[in-house]
Amino acid sequence: MSYRHPGRDQIRIEDVLSALGNRLRLDAVRVLDAGGEHNCTSVLNVLGVTAKSTMTHHWRVLRDSGVIWQHPSGRENMLTLRREDLDARYPGLLDAILTGATTDAAQTPS
């Protein structure tokens, strides 16, 4: 089994924004931004999500919007942030979003 992904030119900004307009998905992308390939379980552990099934939908949204690569490896799913594609297509967008997420996280909830 392998997943379908949009090509770089098929990515649409409203899909990227919608995909990242969710706290859990945004946090997952912050974890993936450390670079390289991550297995699904390790990301869930960092996020404190115990049920793998919770994330199945979220990985699909991130994958379909062109934000991540996802491919199965044995019984695991391997995940990679498509930073090169996103930076090429929307310069500065991902950095502005990740910096913004850090700004929010540093602020005591009002």
Binding site for its own copies (CB under 8 A): 9-10, 12-23, 26, 89-93, 95-97, 99-101, 103-104, 107, 110
Of the pair 37, 104, the CB lying nearest its own copies is at: 104
Measured in degrees and rounded to the nearest 5, phi and psi for residue 77 equal -110, 130
Task: Please give the Cα distance from 49 to 55 (Å, whole number).
Answer: 8
Residue number, 18 or 54, with CB nearest to its own copies:
18
Burial of 20 (0-12, 13-18, 19+ CB in 10 A): buried
Closer CB to its own copies, 23 or 60, in the complex = 23
